[in-house]
Structure 1
Amino acid sequence: MKIVHRQIFREHAKLFGLSTASLLGLIIMGRMLQLRELFLSQNLGLFDLLQLFVYLCPFFLLLIMPIACMLSVFLTFLRMSSDNEHIALKANGVSLYQLLPAPLVFGCLCTLCCYFISFYGLSWGMDNFKRTIIEYARTRSKIAIQAGVFNRDFPKLTFYAHKVDSEAGELEFVFVQDSTLKDTTVTVVAPYGRIEADAEKGEMSIAFRNGRIFRKHGDELNILQFGTYKVRLPLGRLLGGFKFDKDKPSEMSIGRLWRMHRDPPQKVLHDEGLRRKVETELVKRWALPFGCIVLGLFAFPVACAFRGLRQQYGLLLSMGLFLVYYTCFSVAVSLGETGAFSPYVGLWIPNVVFLGVGAVGVYYANQEKTLPVMTLLAYWRSWRAES
């Protein structure tokens, strides 16, 4: 049995790696198309793109790992059923219960890995992704103002600097004209300036020193002298509409979510929608990774029930079953965020239902009995064929 378990575990690992790599590649390609304006506005090389995608991987892996675990278990036992290996093992006195340790151990390992990503990897990846994007915007994008060139990339904003140090972000003899206010033109002139990026707030600004502000409203002209003055830049326009939302619960660490839930700040107390999102996201970080072991156990009897099914059809079947699971999970998340249903109950219902069906399915498969649903399906197909 040790040899059998090792072989099953090894096949699980191979199929898991293949499924994860394939799904991750497809999702990253789709995400790349969504962020094409962001990448086109930056002077990025291949290494820079790979670095950004590494930071995005934890966010995608949290969604991919449960289905990859399900696919690996399903395809392994579907092949064993198709090759009559189950019959050969049973002829030698090996029951399906004795084959369970390998998929259970594999599902537990996937669950632990998914929990690590959920608790730590997700926030680490998104924080580094935003920080890197802001740094690229500061040093490599169009806002890296060229010396002696008028920059009009932002609507109703014009920038000019006589000398520019791109690495340090230092500017000399800076001129900015702001026409964003109706019937008012603000012109800032200063001998020194600096491009600043705040990764925590997700914003960029130009800080001027020892300059003057010329504010013209109609025929009235006001002149002000200042020591320090900042012009904040609409970074989202520069980065293809990418939003930097520091208070997005889906990108927070588990520690920050727990602190906001246990001791909510004033912003959360006065925003009922944000409070529900924090609560729902906190439950989601626990419920979704547990889906690895749930879906792995669920796939085990399903693969045995569909003996003789081709692998391409089995792949479509397992994807369809996961779609049912994820649809139920997504509906529970939406209901939890709107307050229509408790997330503590709703987000765990798909896991409990699929776990129960999987346990019953293992019992029926070991007894070589057909599930009532499968009997009804076979009866319906025969009735359709006769009619």
Structure 2
Amino acid sequence: MRNINRYIFQNILVIFIVIVTIMTSLAWITQTLRYIPLIIEKDRSIFDFLSLTSLLYPWLLSLMAPSSLLIASVIVMDKMIRDSELVILNSSGISPYQKTLPFLKISILVTLLIYLFSIYITPWSMQNFREKITTIKSDIISGSFQENEFIHPDEDFTIFVADRNENGDFIGVIINDASDRKNMVTYSAKKAKLYSLYNQILLEMTDGKIFNANKDLLGEDMEIISFESYTINLSNVVTTAQKVYFKPSEKSIGELLNPINVPAEEIHRNIQYRNEAHIRLSNPLYTISFVFIALFFLQKDLNFRLLKSRYIVYVAGSCLLLKILGISISSKIKNYELYLIHYAIPISVILLYLLYIFSIMHRERKIKNANLY
């Protein structure tokens, strides 16, 4: 029996790995498409793109794992029915618990894997993702200095850059400063370099001119000053990386259960954070409940060598309705301290199936004992 369990377990595991890899990769591709325009706009490399979007993979993997295991279990059971393996096991007198055991083991293993991702890996990856995306969006060089475009970092400044060399220096720079009430200043330079010093953003220009004109006398001659080197402070114009704000789904379990920098009197937000934590802790349990639903329907009629399609429809429909019900209930109680309700649906399914298995075993034992007398 141990060899049979190992055989079933290994089959499910191999198919699960293939399916979860394919499904997660497809989901990853669809998610990454939305960030391509941002990467192009900010003039980032393919390495930046991959290092950013790869951080989404753990989150997507934990989302796809339950349904992937469900599909793998259905495929294995279908194969075993086609090859009459389940029929032979059923007629050999093996108890329902023994037939369920390999499916239970793999579902527990995947559930623990999802817990590992949900509690540790996914929060870490999503926080790194949020930090990277914030840094890219607030990049002062790519955001305020784009080639052959007039950029307006604020309503008083206009910046134009003709080109940029391999060292990152700007070629052909024009900056118009209309922040002063009386004068409008325009800087032009053949070359410029941006750097940060003591939290100040400085632009060092070389070989250029300064055009100073009175706003009230724009038709008159303007003052023109040539320079070999001139530095202006752009700290009030362009911004460095913004402060990173993490969504509740991106926080760790510890941060959700014990929020930092959230006053105790803000009960509403604390409750939402704790509900998010319990949603994350309850979701992996759907993995076991999905497999039990598949076992309940697909092991009902083992007298045929073909798995009836209606049973697969029953499995898919039941799992979908179960998940929709769970999401609906979680959204309804997110503002209330009803944390245990998040666990009610998956645990109820698990307990009902175990009760169903033990009731069959009890009935078979009674029949067996009756036949002895």
TM-score normalized with structure 1 length = 0.68
CA distance in 1, matches of 2:143, 2:166: 10
SS of the residue aligned with 1:348? helix
CA distance in 1, matches of 2:122, 2:78: 33
The aligned residue for residue 96 of structure 1 is 96
**How far does residue 248 in structure 1 lie from its aligned partner after superposition?**
0.9
Is the Cα contact below 8 Å between 1:174 and 1:189 reproduced in 2? yes
1:320 aligned onto 2:279: no
**How far does residue 344 in structure 1 lie from its aligned partner after superposition?**
1.2
For residue 334 of structure 1, the aligned residue among 331, 336, 349 is: 331
Is the Cα contact below 8 Å between 1:305 and 1:365 reproduced in 2? no
The aligned residue for residue 344 of structure 1 is 339
**How far does residue 130 in structure 1 lie from its aligned partner after superposition?**
3.0
The aligned residue for residue 222 of structure 1 is none
**How far does residue 331 in structure 1 lie from its aligned partner after superposition?**
1.2
SS of the residue aligned with 1:301? helix
Residue identity in the other structure for 2:343: W
> Unpaired runs of 5+ in structure 2?
205-214, 217-231, 365-373
Is the Cα contact below 8 Å between 1:9 and 1:103 reproduced in 2? yes
SS of the residue aligned with 2:237? strand
From the superposition, tell whether residues 173 and 125 of structure 1 become closer, same or farther in structure 2 (CA, over 3 Å). same
1:231 aligned onto 2:234: no
Is the Cα contact below 8 Å between 1:42 and 1:140 reproduced in 2? no
Over the aligned positions, Cα root-mean-square deviation in angstroms equals: 4.7
Is the Cα contact below 8 Å between 2:279 and 2:342 reproduced in 1? yes
SS of the residue aligned with 2:284? helix
- Please give the per-residue CA displacement for 1:323-350, whole angstroms capped at 9, x wherever unaligned: 21221221122123233xx441321122
The aligned residue for residue 76 of structure 1 is 76
Is the Cα contact below 8 Å between 1:78 and 1:311 reproduced in 2? no
For residue 357 of structure 1, the aligned residue among 342, 352, 357 is: 352
Aligned residues: 338
Larger radius of gyration: 2
CA distance in 2, matches of 1:287, 1:23: 22
From the superposition, tell whether residues 317 and 42 of structure 1 become closer, same or farther in structure 2 (CA, over 3 Å). farther
**How far does residue 15 in structure 1 lie from its aligned partner after superposition?**
2.0
From the superposition, tell whether residues 195 and 293 of structure 1 become closer, same or farther in structure 2 (CA, over 3 Å). farther
The aligned residue for residue 279 of structure 1 is 274
CA distance in 2, matches of 1:44, 1:368: 67
**How far does residue 363 in structure 1 lie from its aligned partner after superposition?**
4.6
Is the Cα contact below 8 Å between 1:24 and 1:60 reproduced in 2? yes
The aligned residue for residue 55 of structure 1 is 55
Residue identity in the other structure for 1:250: S
TM-score normalized with structure 2 length = 0.70
The aligned residue for residue 379 of structure 1 is none
> Unpaired runs of 5+ in structure 1?
197-204, 211-217, 220-225, 237-243, 370-387
CA distance in 2, matches of 1:110, 1:360: 22
1:254 aligned onto 2:260: no
**How far does residue 318 in structure 1 lie from its aligned partner after superposition?**
3.8
Is the Cα contact below 8 Å between 1:273 and 1:337 reproduced in 2? no
CA distance in 2, matches of 1:233, 1:137: 11
Identity fraction in percent: 18
Residue identity in the other structure for 2:98: Q
